[in-house]
Amino acid sequence: EEEKWWNKETVAMVTGANRGIGLEIVRQLACKGITVVLTCRNEQQGLAAAQALVEGGLHNVHFHILDVQSSESVSNLAQWLHNKFGGLDILINNAGVIGQDMNWEIMREKGLDMRQLLFYGTSNETAVYDFERTRTCIDINYYGTKRVVRGLLPLLRKSSNGRRPRIVNVSSLHGLLKLMPNPLLQKQLSDMDNVTEDFLDSMLMEFLEDVKRNTKVEEKERK
């Protein structure tokens, strides 16, 4: 049986929660009696999603706008959380976007579908990269997550029974290291003792330059 460490005073926050997985996370947490703050960058959609849950009987759901690409937006949310709840117990980073498109013609020719890509990964034949889209993806999925964590870290608190706060990062099967087309990067990213924030920042900047130059990932060697 699941050990219940939370109560009605427990406060959770979910990013990118106006639909899909994020919205369901909000619903599931609220059903357990946890106070949940639903956040997203589109105020109209976020308010509608939260209102639908409240009208469905989940009166412990609240909404606040959050654009993870904006440090000011994160700061405003942190101040609101502090004023309204005094702190935060659970932070769930769910906001994310896709950074590439697919070459559907090639996929049809090869008889591939999205389910197969989840298990075998993409290649330069099936993946289509656009620089601006890729840059936005990195700014939301990686830097956006860091902005939120750093901005809300001072609010994270121990629960009333002494349990530590929780940070949960939602990812995708597309992020599995075994699906990366570059074996050297697979090895480097698997070495958790030596993967640093500076290394990740440098790798992502290099990746953006590769996209800009249309460098093939499979052929690239990283020093």
pTM: 0.84
Task: Tell me how far CA of residue 196 lies from CA of 4, 61, 96, 187, 201, in angstroms.
Answer: 35, 36, 22, 14, 9
Tens of pLDDT, residue by residue over 108-140, are: 666 666 555 554 455 555 566 788 888 999 999
Closest by Cα among 197, 200, 174 to 185: 200
Q: What is the mean pLDDT of residues 5-30?
A: 95
Predicted local distance difference test score (pLDDT) of residue 118? 52
pLDDT at residue number 218:
53
* The pLDDT value given to residue 148: 98
- For 212, how many CA atoms within 13 A lie in the half-sphere containing its CB? 8
For residue range 189-215, list pLDDT tens digits in order: 999 999 999 999 999 999 899 888 887
DSSP labels, 175-198? G-GGG-S-HHHHHHHH-TTT--HH
Mean pLDDT on 95-108: 70
Query: Is 90 a residue whose pLDDT tops 90?
Result: yes
**pLDDT, mean over the chain:** 86
Q: pLDDT exceeding 70 applies to what percent of the chain?
A: 81
Q: What is the largest CA-CA distance in the chain?
A: 58
Residues 74 and 152: beta-carbon distance below 8 Å: yes
More confident: 212 or 95: 95
Does residue 157 surpass a pLDDT of 90? no
Q: Among residues 80, 42, 37, which one has the least CA distance to residue 60?
A: 37
Q: Where are the domains of the chain?
A: 11-179
What is the Cα–Cα distance from 68 to 101, expressed in whole angstroms? 22
pLDDT in tens, 26-70: 999 999 999 999 999 999 999 999 999 999 999 999 999 999 999
pLDDT value at residue 84: 97
Strands 101-102 and 127-128: antiparallel
CATH class in words for 11-179: alpha beta
